[in-house]
Chain A
Amino acid sequence: METIERLSNPPLARRLGDAVHVSPLLRKICQMCGCPEDRVGEWLVKCAVGRGASHYERDFPEDLPPDDPELSDEELAVALCLGQHPYNSTFIRVAAQLLSSPRTNTPKLARLAVMERVEPVLLHIATVAARFAPEAQPWSYLLRHLPKRLACPQNALPHWSRFVSQTGVTSFAGGPDIKWLRRRELGQ
């Protein structure tokens, strides 16, 4: 049944209609942290939360290795968006908040995105950001500079409301107040 298929969990690349790229970045990260491929996503989320993706704070298993400062923020975020992972909307949402910072090295991120074939994911986030935070970097830069390699199927990537915080719709105050989720910087 279509409904059941929709709820299954193919690799992200397949959902997007792309070839599954075997990522050298992911291999490097697995070697770096010592996690097997089926746990590395959880480790990446833990590292991103520790670096400021605060909306996704949770308890992580105690046996996950600590963060490794050798891994740059840009590599960490791109690794979360890889098509090789089984689809997990949280990975993409965490990457979006982590990258939403003036500290992101935007040209480096764009280069890495092309190398690791995650341009469709970052362009999706950038398109949503353009609606709610049009000036926010790195998104406006990526919208202008990343190649539009692939037209993704509708609903293959997280809904816009997954990238923002918003108040409820009420009959008293009209529409909701919607805010783009930005990275919590050190000292905030």
Chain B
Amino acid sequence: MSHPLRILRALDRRLRLDLGLRRLAVFRPATIDLILTKMARADDDDLEDIQFLVRQEPLPQGRLETAFSRARVPDVPEIQELFNRARPIVLALAALDL
């Protein structure tokens, strides 16, 4: 999938926040996209955040694995290494909350 298409998909998945504002529409990224961004570093604080996210919205392993394989990880060796190292940890965290 091309980069602009991935961005469009992410925009489709975004969630509108009801903040009671009359003239402003506020969105947040979908939980799965928040998790992917946090996997680019995946330190203890990020993992705590991911654990919180999967508790709020349990995600099946298959959906996570698909998202991992489709994610556009920046072409920076350090980020790629951290992202790949985080994969099994995130799957284990998600399995705890299913």
Contacts and interface: CB of A to CB of B under 8 A. Distances in A.
A175 B76 contact: yes
* Interface class of chain B by DSSP: helix
A169 interface: yes
A28 interface: no
Contacts of A1: 92
Contact of A159 (B43, B76, B89): B43
* Interface class of chain A by DSSP: loop
B41 interface: yes
B76 A7 contact: no
Contacts of A3: 47, 89, 92-93
A158 B44 CA distance: 9
A144 interface: no
A54 B44 CA distance: 23
Interface string B61-98: 00000000000001010010000000001001100000
A159 B44 CA distance: 9
Contacts of B51: 7
A26 B45 CA distance: 25
Contact of A7 (B3, B41, B48, B79): B48
Given A162-B45, A169-B79, 13 more contacts: A3-B47, A3-B89, A3-B92, A6-B44, A7-B47, A7-B48, A87-B44, A158-B43, A159-B41, A161-B41, A162-B43, A169-B76, A175-B76
5 contacts: A6-B47, A7-B48, A87-B44, A158-B43, A169-B74
Interface of B: 3, 41, 43-45, 47-48, 51, 74, 76, 79, 89, 92-93
Question: Which are the 9 A-B pairs with shortest beta-carbon distances?
Answer: A169-B74, A159-B43, A3-B92, A159-B41, A89-B45, A3-B89, A161-B41, A7-B48, A171-B3
